[in-house]
Structure 1
Amino acid sequence: MNIIKKNKLLFIVTLVYVVLFITNTDKAIESTQNSMYYVLEMLQIMPVIFILTSLIEAWIPREVIMNSFGEKSGIKGNMLSFILGSFSAGPIYAAFPVCKTLIKKGASISNIVIILSTWAVVKVPMLANEAKFLGTKFMMIRWILTTISIFVMAYIVSIFVKKDSIPNIKDSIIKNKVVIKEEYCIGCRICERVSPSKFKVSSGKAKILNDIIDESTDEAIDKCPVKAIDYI
């Protein structure tokens, strides 16, 4: 039963195929052939994506991702996300593991929404084909309205969706060292109140007292209003 609960979708799809083979064999065969096409496509694309995500995980420092796509990246991060999605290659499902890795490294929810949305509907090669078949005017108006919608949607999603709600994100962070970015710290003393054995505010900036990492460290990181505390 536990296996079924963990793979509900796969179980339901398998059950549907079994019923379809019993009730309408021809449609079942046609459906299986169509499914196999996409399975083979995924088998060709996903290994490359897994290699890419591994390279991002291993070789790109968390600080670089945070500066380029993080909460503090501002308009620069929005533009980089838009460009990354627009010039991406491959189907949209290939974007999900890449975006999950970027979130683990510190990318903001809003920038992930921008990457996914542009990857799906604003690819540069797709725009050329759109202009060819539907006309340049249609393409331009659709592109402008879609772009506006993407940024609005990114802002709204970032309000309602937090990183804590994404599976395995919090536990995936490597908790080997805590740092304080003094340029962001405002000396509010929240970290000191949450974890007095770990943090102390001196001369208007928070300082780390020891290397012990516990639940209060996570709480201090979550409650810091300017996100000056983080793991590396």
Structure 2
Amino acid sequence: MVASPVRGMREEQRRQEQPKQGKAGSEWAQGPSGNGKIPAPGGGWKSGLPAFGVALALLGGLFFLNPAQGREVARLWKESTYTVLGLLPPVFLLLGLFDSWVSRERIIPLLGEGSGIRGGVLATLLGALAAGPLYLSFPIAEVMLVKGASLRNVFVFVGAWSTMKIPMFLFEVGSLGGRFAVVRYAVSLVGIVLIAKGTELFLGKEERRFLLARYYETEA
């Protein structure tokens, strides 16, 4: 697992700005649990070590049981690793520039809690116009949260990235017909919106506060 390129910088910035944010004694200033502690971010790359160890153990067992299949799996693993390493650094570089150059004050009206339908449309367009595999959307979604985007719009963005990309739609038009492509696109849009709203409601107010406390201090 690749550690976030913005968390360290955001932690430092939050420590510097903390006296300026929130109301003293407020529930949010005291943290979602009321104990004055803001949850720490995830464990970064160390949290992926157990899964990596299990994968290595399974690969070793496969080599022992079926060397031919083991070599094929190792080859595919190596190719996937090279692909990931080739895509992530440029994305992290662009995200670092975006994080430095674009302020939260410019993002919150567009994608924040009060953005309404406009925010949902913009989040959908951002996901639909994106290119690349789905795992690239996760660091971008994190930066969106850092900049004040609502959870609902982040969910919509990730959902649109996974199912509503414009190149995918054009491919479906040429291969399966325009009617199928339009219906599938419309159903995906409705499903994404419902899932995003349902997930936000399912999390509840306290869970949303706990998640958002990793990035900034505001009312959920």
Same fold (TM over 0.5): yes
Deviation of 1:4 after TM superposition, in Å, equals 8.2
CA change 1:4–1:147 in 2 (3 A) is: closer
- Give deviations 1:115-147, integer Å, cap 9, x for gaps: 101111100111111111111111111111111
1 or 2 for the larger relative contact order (CA 8 Å, sep ≥6)? 2
Match of 1:115 in 2: 157
Q: For the aligned residues, what is the CA RMSD?
A: 1.9
What secondary structure is seen at the aligned counterpart in 1 of 2:114? coil
Larger radius of gyration: 1
TM-score using structure 2 length: 0.73
Structure 1 CA distance, aligned partners of 2:122 and 2:47?
Answer: 39
Unpaired segments ≥5 residues, structure 1: 174-217, 228-232
Of residues 166, 170, 191, the one that matches 2:213 is: 170
- Give deviations 1:10-53, integer Å, cap 9, x for gaps: 11111111111111111111111111221111111101110121
Match of 2:174 in 1: 132
Report the identity percentage: 26
Structure 1 CA distance, aligned partners of 2:120 and 2:134?
Answer: 19
TM-score using structure 1 length: 0.70
Deviation of 1:99 after TM superposition, in Å, equals 0.4
State how many pairs are aligned.
173
Deviation of 1:151 after TM superposition, in Å, equals 0.7
Match of 1:97 in 2: 139
Deviation of 1:160 after TM superposition, in Å, equals 2.2
CA change 1:171–1:83 in 2 (3 A) is: closer
Partners of 2:145 and 2:215 within 8 A in 1: no
Report the structure, 1 or 2, having the larger helix content.
Answer: 2
Partners of 1:109 and 1:157 within 8 A in 2: no
Of residues 171, 187, 201, the one that matches 1:159 is: 201
1:46 correspondence with 2:94: no
